[in-house]
Amino acid sequence: MTGEETHFIVLAPLDLEVTALADVFGFDVSAPQVCGDGVIWYQTVIRRDEGMPLNVRIVRLAHQGALHAAVTTTKLVLEWKPWCVVSFGIAGGLCGEDISLRDVLVADSVFYYEPAKETVVTIAPEKPANMGRNLARESADVSSVVQEEPTVFSTSSSVSPIAGAQSTPKRRSYKVRVGPVASGEKLIADLRSPSRERILKLNRKMLAVEKEAAGVAAAVRGLPELPDTQLLVVKGISDDATVAKNQNDKKQIARDRKVAARNAAEILFQTVLASTPRTVDPLNADAARKVSDLTKQCLEHLPAHVVILPNETELSRVLFPPTVLPPVYYHWRALTSKLHWVDFCVLRALARLGELGFPVFPLVTEGKDGRGIPDGFSREAYAIIVDAVCGSQVTWYSEIDRDRAEYLRFAEISGLDRNGIEAIRDSGHYWGLRSGCLVLEQWLQYVAWASRNVGRCLILTYEKHVNAYMEIRRVLTLNPLVLGVNIQIDGQPGKFGHPWSEIHIDPPDYESILDWLKRCPPAEHIAEFCRYVSLGRPPQEQLSPSDMQDLDDMPNWRNLTMGSRVTEKDLAFLEAVSELVSHLREWNSTFFSSYVAANSKARLK
């Protein structure tokens, strides 16, 4: 292989695809080069009026399929270190109205659909009335295949089709579509194919199916040495992935395949011309070690009530590549003018991730739907509290309307439009959408749009609503990781159970918390509360005189502190209250010093 800088590697498994590339890119298919391991490739240089010449290497894959594509891609990327890797070829179209024969698909995501669980179900057929006992039919074993969570790869938004590619210029007889593609080892050739049905259930917006893109994507996204390598998938639609592949008109089939490959080559060539590659250097430090270290730091910073679902390995996946950290979102409804204590706890987790360098975004809906604003609600005052706790400005539901056209357009492209929302509801998670963390579907669409350039994000939500977010992967290009929040006291949800739903963070005096303490709740409940709200520092051992003032009105408090007959239960209560009041004082000094300075009545100083 040569030592020249490589800007693009284009991988194609079929001769007709290589021929189409040769016709458009202008290289000689009769003069191939061969790597030491037998890989056949061609070199071409694209010279432009402006900008540097681009070195493009076209690789003829020896075999079809994702596994071979992954192995070959890995070897070549490690040796050539290209700026962009392209999975090129023809594919079968799936959505007749959205994509047609000879159109070109530029994939924004690749779904590897092969993961599935296969079981055998025994079916006992009904016995016809006129059959005797000896003539009864035997039971039958039927194979049952259940689709498991697909592996989803996002392509690189920085390498996109030329401007206006989704439109249909008069000089073109075909359209360019952007959307998801399914990839696996099977050749789908029948409308009744079970695999075809499973693919469309993954994402109703799936535009095509092919066999190599998942392998190429897995290789590009799985190389820690070169995390900045770009990924592009360009496919010409040669058939409709049905029995039409078996038609008797072989000549027409051949023409469709040839034209589809040629159309795809034209779009790829124009994309290459419009690109601005940069040199890809291996990371100075091992990227895998960076991800491992960052994962460890996240686990150390996250409180115990935040659970990584389904497992910690998923966190490492979302953190790669470590050069750009994914954004972190937490959404809640502000049903009162004061910050709920559970939201305070989650915002502290958000702040800890912010300390590690993650971009963090608190998202707030005013009232239940952004319209019914709570009485006495002040956005400014509420935002100051939130910013003090997590160090980030609030994004309000009432404000995202300015980006509505953009995020709705992206939702249409990515599959999170009305059909996508219905698909999530059909899966049984409607309740999660209606009353979960992202109450309104516009928030789902907004988060997807806001994270589009990174292609990954972390979402904090309550554990019981996690499944609603997991379903997003089936209809969305975005690769999210859901961090489940499990905050309970006495087995009841901290935000919805009584009396926990009435407790708020209202500095500097924290009247709702003190009112709760005056009801003399069990010491174990106070201890549980302290475990969630603690900032990780040991509480002050002694209560100050100002602290004592706040507890004077508590029933039996003076009797407990001054009396001689104090039980173990009383001592546990005194200890729990002392710890909690110490935390309140710490909040004032850590977060709300400006409130304390502005409010002369504050006693928890």
- Domains, the chain: 8-111+154-274 (3.40.50.1580), 287-479 (3.40.50), 506-598 (no CATH)
Token output for 49: 């009026």
Give the residues across from 459 on adjacent strands. 329, 482
**Of the candidates 92, 115, 261, which has an alpha carbon nearest to the alpha carbon of residue 188?**
92
Number of alpha helices (DSSP H) and beta strands (DSSP E) in the chain = 20, 22
Q: Which two tokens stand for residue 63?
A: 């075999």
Q: Is the pLDDT of residue 329 over 50?
A: yes
Q: Return the H-helix or E-strand segment holding 363.
A: strand 360-366
| Element spanning 55, H or E | strand 54-60
Given a cut of 90, whether residue 90 has pLDDT beyond it is yes
* β-pairing verdict for 140-147 and 116-123: antiparallel
Task: For CA atoms 179, 182, 188, 191, give the dihedral sign.
Answer: negative
pLDDT digits (tens, 9 = 90+) for 128-150: 555 555 555 566 655 555 556 66
Question: Which of 80-84, 202-206, 519-523, 592-596 is the most confident on average?
Answer: 80-84
Least confident of 18-22, 52-56, 311-315, 386-390: 311-315
Single pTM value for the model: 0.63
Q: What are the pLDDT digits (tens) for 91-104? A: 998 866 678 899 99
Q: Do 309 and 458 form a contact (C-beta atoms < 8 A)?
A: no
Share of the chain above pLDDT 90, in %: 31
Q: Which residues pair with 409 in a beta bridge?
A: none
How confident is the model over 445-456, as pLDDT tens digits?
899 899 888 878
What is the pLDDT confidence band of residue 437, given thresholds at 50, 70 and 90?
Answer: very low
Residue 122 near residue 268 (C-beta atoms within 8 A): no
Q: What integer best gives the mean pLDDT of the chain?
A: 80
Q: Please give the Cα distance from 400 to 395 (Å, whole number).
A: 8
Please report, for residues 128, 130, 141, 177, the alpha-carbon distance to residue 133 in angstroms, rounded to integers and kept in the order given. Answer: 10, 10, 21, 60
Sorted by sequence, the CB contacts under 8 Å of residue 441 that are 6+ apart come out as 421, 433
